[in-house]
Amino acid sequence: MKARPTPEGGVALIKSFEKLRLKRYQDPAGLPTIGWGHLIVASDEVDGKLERITADRADELLRADLGRAERKVCARVHNPDELADEQYGALVSLVFNVGRMGDQLRRTINLGRFEEVPDVLRRYCKLRDPETGALVVSKGLLRRREAEIALWNSAKETEP
């Protein structure tokens, strides 16, 4: 499936939260991460443990990760090309961060209930505490969801 590319506003939002980190680190959920929020998987380390990358490699990983998020959004939304760039960018940012689009968000969008999307997005603000295993509200995820909501809502301001 050919996915719609992420508009610049969506990429900028993702980069503003991920920050460029050329050395391996643990994200707030304790997962190994590098570059622009790229989760390190086994296939990344076939030639040894991935500890450092260049900025160019980070950009390559970002493009690949964006492609996966774009395909997921396009697979779940009936008419992704009918979304405003701001709406699509907000959804790609969510899926880039969370890894999926839940059924309630999919249904809300596919039923055209766009005014309800902000409330649904706010539900994606928990992460699993690596020490306790409990789901806890993350202030960082709350900030990110509010930024995605602001991007989503900005589509209303730019429509004719």
Statement: 8-158 belongs to CATH 1.10.3720.10: no
pLDDT of 45 above 60: yes
How is the chain split into domains, by residue range? 8-158
pTM of the complete model = 0.92
- Over residues 125-160, the pLDDT tens digits come to 998 888 899 999 999 999 999 999 999 999 975 554
Q: Does the annotation count 119 as an active-site position?
A: no
Q: Does the annotation count 59 as an active-site position?
A: no
95 vs 65: CA distance, rounded Å = 10
- Over residues 58-108, the pLDDT tens digits come to 999 999 999 999 999 999 999 999 999 999 999 999 999 999 999 999 999
60 vs 35: CA distance, rounded Å = 9
Cβ(158)–Cβ(84) under 8 Å?
Answer: yes
Q: Which two tokens stand for residue 106?
A: 């999919």
Check 27, 44, 59, 60 and give the catalytic one.
Answer: 27
Check 18, 65, 70, 148 and give the catalytic one.
Answer: 18
User: Given this model, what pLDDT does residue 160 score?
Assistant: 43
